[in-house]
Amino acid sequence: MSAYAGKMYHPYNATAVDTYTGFNWPCLFCGVFWFMYKGLWAWAVGAFFAALLTGGLAWFAFPFFANSLHLSHLQSNGYLTTAQLQARQSESEKPTVTAPPISVAAPPLSVADELKKFDDLRAQGVITEEDFQKKKRELLG
């Protein structure tokens, strides 16, 4: 018989999924469709071919371990137990200490550096000769 094992929670939205242990009656009655419903696609294909090869007798074997397959599938997809979810929520409630932002001022450029920069811009065609001369008079005072 199947026994309730607890809940597993989705890692991002905390949606609960019931888990069970023991014999799985829905798997016995639904077979491959139970595996597809639970998202165990590889097991669904395997169960289908096993049922074909054994004339349907494999359907009587899968319910004995289907619940443990479902539980391991949930764990491999990152689902959390109740204790893990509560620990994660208590961590998120802790106040976080953030350091104040550090502002780094650029070192002041000399007049010669500024002129060189504007001369390069003029050579590249970004600014005109008039703009360069205007900025040169401005920098030299």
**pLDDT, position 97:** 64
**pLDDT, position 99:** 65
**pLDDT, position 46:** 92
**pLDDT, position 53:** 93
For residues 104 and 54, give the distance between their C-alpha atoms in angstroms, rounded to a whole number: 73
CB 50 within 8 A of CB 27: no
**pLDDT, position 107:** 66
Token output for 8: 């597993």
**pLDDT, position 42:** 92
CA 44 to mean position of chain CA atoms: 26
What does pTM read for this prediction? 0.61
DSSP state of 64: G
Mean pLDDT per segment of 10 residues, for the chain of length 141 residues? 85 87 90 90 92 89 90 89 85 69 68 85 88 86 75
Sketch the domain layout of the chain as residue ranges: 2-93, 111-140
